[in-house]
A and B are shown apart, each in its own frame.
Chain A
Amino acid sequence: MINELMNIVIDQVMLLLNLPIFLRDYLVVIGYGVFASLVVGAVAYGGAYVERKLIARIQSRYGPQHPGPAGILINLADFVKLISKEDIVPDGADSVSFRWAPIAMATILFFTIMLLPFGKDLFAVDQSFSLLLPVALLSLLPVAILLIGWASNSKYTYLGALRSAVMSMSYEIPLLLSVVGLVILTGTLNIVTMAEIQDRGLWFVLLQPIGLLVFVISMIATAERIPFDMPFAESELVAGWKTEYSGVRYALTFLVEYGLVLVTSVIVVFLFFGGWSGPTSLPNLPFKIPSEAWLFFKVGIFVMAYIVMRASFPRLRADQLLNLCWKYLIPLGVLNIGIAVVERMVLWV
């Protein structure tokens, strides 16, 4: 639905500006970029609001009450506050890296989102590596975090950045191992194709439960959320690698946090929960439920799961995560590959 709308707008722009036809692909990418920014903005805004409200309810509080009805404008107020703050670069910090690393992080995140589909036909480029590329891009984030930790010239940021690096070493291998099973089953690295295969009837959550478990744990570590939020554990490292940031750059780090929640939720829904596919037989409705709505619904459940987890668990230590990943998740991931091979032989032939 959104795809058709975007096509109409792009055709109109082409007509109005009288552009040559080969520019159309670029316009699609730009249009999708605008759409992706809107989605990230909306998810960061809505996600932060829902998080505040839901956590507040779990913790027997009301959460934000004003401004706006039920405090819906609270994040806008916070954003205005953050952008009106002074942009402080600490003494002795490496100014260039300190200023640009959060922007680099946000850029990496937007690139990742550009590669993800958001509905049946809603993607910028249908390329055959759409499973590998987001994962590869996300593994660049710890590099930016390490740069921040070094550039801030503070021991707490440095420790937070080191923890982030240690974590990325431990969770990236199980993350990739857990999806190898799916690649074996489907014979493709394209997550759109994977979702199409699942749309025929069988979601991979039923075929690959161990893969899902490994993937979800690694995915929470990727998003650096409780119980794996050691890189900015507020009770240990003040704010970890975020400690020295203020103003709009601090807002950017938050955008990245919620963006990661979105990206990982979308990927897990596409890999294991059939992407945009809804129930095959629905009672007769006067309208058709668009594929984007099903996707939104499923992703929303995962975002909620992130929030509930944050309200209920303490955080682990970095070395305990290393233990978990190397001792349990990697063997489980390998086992999962074996299961996938057996399933492929039995089911697909």
Chain B
Amino acid sequence: MASEKIVELNMGPQHPSTHGVLRLMLKIKGDTIMDSTAHIGYLHRCIEKLHEKRHYMWCIPLTNRMDYVAALHSEHLFVQAVEKLMNIEPSERSQYVRVILLELQRIASHLVAIGSYGLDLGQMTTWFWCFKEREIILTLMEEVTGGRLFHNEVRLGGLKNDLPKGWTEKCLSMLTYLDKKWKDYGKFIENELFFKRTKGIGVVSKKDAMDWGMHGPSLRGSGWNLDVRRYAPYSVYDKLDFDVPVKDEGDSLARYRVRWEEVVQSIRIVRQAIKNLPQGPTEGLRSLYFTKPVTPGEVYVINEQAKGEAGVYLVSDGTSKPYRAKYKTPSFCNTALLPKIIVGHKIADIVAIIGSLDPVFGEVDR
């Protein structure tokens, strides 16, 4: 209708379902979004600058605070970079333990993503069920690392702690339980009303996904078979057998389904890693962190985080503190194209799209 006025609506940063502190300025006509701008920066804590003032070891807890839902991934990324700088090869066992913990962390992160997606769509039960299972995983990780959210576990060339006695059996029985439950949850979540809210909502075509720089499960939901664990394997991922779930539809449902299947694959990876777990030392180079300088040079390393491909560009000038650490985070890239996706959709679809991209704002703002 021609007489309809365009209204500006401010969504966030205190809005309950913008997954943190995203602020969207929407121009709406009736219930339809004509234009939108995303404002970020409400959670900026100068993490990259703080790196320059700290010894290498002290940076690890900082990286934890970036993606606070999957803290171990960013931690592993930073340590990967320093290890590459110093040419340290971690022991075989510590690499396997790392993979076990990383994949458990991925499951925990996807549980949060899918659970809060249910909450966004009004299906509260999904949220509680997913968080119930996440608690079990967090408790398992707490037994190894001592932390539930912020682990501070990965060390240069090793780990802070080895797996405690009897942990692997506990982990395997948990995986059996989760495997069974996860199929039930899938059946519960995917009902007709869920399809109505997600099918064909927030479609990103294959070309757009690559042009705009999408990452991770969202990219794979648009038909790209790109997973760092597969195309540039780090740690021991090349010795493990797993599938990369890919969907071609590119809508919210596809992104949700990719996450759902990644949990199944992660369970598979952890099982294999526990089966192949070698004996040996896991301890890292403890004394090094406080005082010793790191080899000068610059590196760029990537890994596959729960939200997608992340990278760190680390410059060392030969002192015991990094000269510069620049992070590339998947949530940032995915949030950048959010305003483009939501144009033309209804207000109610915004939450369905944000939830399917699963941004974490600690990682967007850093």
Binding site for B on A (CB under 8 A): 55, 58-61, 155, 159, 163, 226-227, 229-230, 233-238, 310-320
The answer to whether B123 and A59 touch across the interface, beta carbons within 8 angstroms, is no
Set of chain B residues within 8 Å of A319, measured between Cβ atoms = 31, 346
Q: Are B125 and A314 in contact (CB under 8 A)?
A: no
Select which of A59, A235, A310 is within 8 A of B128 by beta carbon.
A59
Contacts of B174-211 to chain A: CB distance below 8 A: 188, 191, 193-194, 196-197
Interface of A is mostly: helix
- The distance from the CB of A192 to the nearest CB of chain B, in whole angstroms, is 36
> B122 in the interface, Cβ–Cβ < 8 Å?
yes
Residue pairs across A and B with CB atoms within 8 Å: the count is: 80
Point out the residues of chain B lying under 8 angstroms from A237, CB to CB: 347
Q: Is B85 positioned at the interface, with any CB of A under 8 Å from its CB?
A: no
Nearest CB of A to B341, in Å: 16
Interface residues of B (CB under 8 A from A): 7, 9-10, 15-17, 31, 118-125, 128-129, 132, 188, 191, 193-194, 196-197, 346-351
A227 contacts B125, C-beta separation under 8 Å: no
Q: Contacts of A320 on B, CB cut-off 8 Å? A: 196
Instruction: Tell me whether A314 and B123 are in contact in the complex, defined as CB-CB below 8 angstroms, given that A59-B129, A227-B193 are known contacts.
Output: yes
Known contacts: A313-B193, A316-B197, A318-B348. The answer to whether A233 contacts B128 by CB under 8 A is no
Enumerate 15 A-B pairs (CB-CB under 8 Å) in ascending A order: A60-B129, A60-B132, A233-B122, A234-B16, A234-B17, A235-B121, A235-B351, A236-B347, A313-B123, A315-B121, A316-B197, A317-B196, A317-B349, A318-B31, A320-B196
Bound-state CA distance A234–B348 (Å) is 11
The residue in chain A whose Cβ has the minimal distance to the Cβ of B32 is A319
B197 lies within 8 A of A317 (CB): yes
Nearest CB of A to B127, in Å: 8
- Chain B, Cβ-Cβ closest to A324: B196
Closest 7 CB pairs of A and B: A315-B122, A314-B121, A59-B128, A235-B17, A314-B123, A317-B348, A314-B122
Instruction: Name which residue of chain B comes closest to A311, CB basis.
Output: B125
Residues of B near A311 (CB, < 8 A) are 124-125
Output the nearest chain A residue to B132 by Cβ-Cβ distance.
A60
Chain A nearest CB from B153 CB (Å) reads 29
A61: contacting residue among B121, B128, B349, CB under 8 A? B128
Partner of B125, one of A230, A233, A234, A312: A312
The complex places the Cα of A58 from the Cα of B16 at a distance, in Å, of 23
Q: Which of A58, A313, A316 gathers most chain B CB within 10 Å?
A: A313
Chain A positions within 8 Å of B121 at CB level: 235, 314-315
Report Cα–Cα, A169/B196, bound state, in Å. 21
Q: A155-B7, A155-B9, A233-B348 are in contact. Are A227 and B15 (CB under 8 A)?
A: no
Contact B16 A235 (CB under 8 A): yes
Contacts of B7 in A (CB 8 A): 155
Q: Cα distance A317–B15 when bound, in Å?
A: 19
| With A59-B125, A312-B123 as contacts: A317 and B16 at CB distance below 8 Å | no
Q: Among B9, B10, B132, B197, which residue has its beta carbon within 8 angstroms of that of A314?
A: B197
On whether the beta carbons of B122 and A235 are closer than 8 Å, the reply is yes
**Nearest chain-A residue to B194 (Cβ)?**
A314
For A56, give the chain B residue with the smallest CB separation.
B128
Are B193's CB and A230's CB within 8 A?
Answer: no
| Contact indicator B123/A317 (Cβ below 8 Å) | no
State whether B193 touches A314 (Cβ < 8 A): yes
Q: Is the CB of A59 within 8 A of B124?
A: yes
Question: Contacts A59-B129, A235-B17, A319-B346 known; A313 to B122 CB distance under 8 Å?
Answer: yes
**A236 x B197 contact (CB < 8 A):** no
Distance, CA A312 to CA B193, complexed state (A): 10
* Cα(A229)–Cα(B121), bound, Å: 11
Which residues of B sit under 8 angstroms from A315, Cβ to Cβ? 121-122, 193, 197, 348
Q: Which of A58, A159, A227, A310 contacts B347 (CB 8 A)?
A: A159
Besides A55-B124, A314-B191, 18 other CB < 8 A contacts?
A58-B125, A59-B129, A60-B129, A226-B122, A229-B122, A233-B122, A234-B17, A235-B16, A235-B120, A236-B347, A238-B16, A312-B188, A313-B122, A314-B123, A314-B193, A315-B121, A317-B348, A319-B346
A120 to chain B, nearest CB (A): 39
Is the Cβ of B193 less than 8 Å from the Cβ of A316? yes
Complex: A318 Cα to B123 Cα, angstroms = 16
User: Given the complex, which residues of B lie within 8 Å of A163, measured CB to CB?
Assistant: 31
Contacts of B196 in A (CB 8 A): 316-317, 320
Centre residue among A58, A155, A235 by max chain B CB count within 10 A: A235
Complex contacts, B347 vs chain A, CB 8 Å: 159, 236-237
Chain B residues, Cβ within 8 Å of A60: 128-129, 132
In the assembled complex, how far is the CB of residue A68 from the closest CB belonging to chain B, in whole angstroms?
24
Would you call B124 and A227 a contact (CB within 8 A)?
A: no
Cα separation A59 to B217 with both chains bound (whole Å): 27
Enumerate chain B residues within 8 angstroms of A61, measured Cβ to Cβ: 128
Q: Which residues of B contact A316 (CB under 8 A)?
A: 193, 196-197
Q: Which listed residue, B15, B132, B197, B348, touches A238 by the CB 8 Å rule?
A: B15
Contacts of B123 in A (CB 8 A): 312-314
What is the chain B residue whose CB lies nearest that of A234? B16
- Docked complex Cα distance between A349 and B302 (Å): 80
> Complex Cα distance A312/B17, Å?
19
Give Cα distance in the complex from A42 to B187, angstroms: 37
CB contact under 8 A between A230 and B16, given known A235-B119, A313-B191, A314-B193: no
- Minimum distance in angstroms from A14 CB to a CB of chain B: 52
**Contacting residues, chain A, for B132 (C-beta < 8 A):** 60
CA distance A238 to B124 in the complex (A): 15
A36–B13 Cα distance when bound, in Å, is: 44
Among residues of A, the one whose C-beta sits closest to the C-beta of B119 is A235
On chain B, the residues within 8 Å of A59 by CB distance are: 124-125, 128-129
Identify the closest chain A residue to B192 (Cβ). A313
Query: A58 to chain B: which residues have CB within 8 Å?
Result: 125
Residues of A within 8 A of B197 (CB): 314-317
A229 to B125, CA, bound (A): 16
Q: In angstroms, how far is the closest chain A Cβ from the Cβ of B268?
A: 25
CA distance in complex: A315, B349 (Å): 11
Which residue on B lies nearest to A61, using beta carbons? B128
Contact residues in B for A159 (Cβ distance below 8 Å): 9, 31, 347
Q: How far is the CA of A314 from the CA of B348 in the complex (A)?
A: 12
State in angstroms the CA–CA spacing of A58 and B326 once bound together.
45
Whether B122 contacts A227 by the Cβ 8 Å rule is: yes
Assembled-state Cα–Cα distance A59/B120 (Å): 16
For B125, the chain A residues whose CB sits under 8 A away are 55, 58-59, 311-312
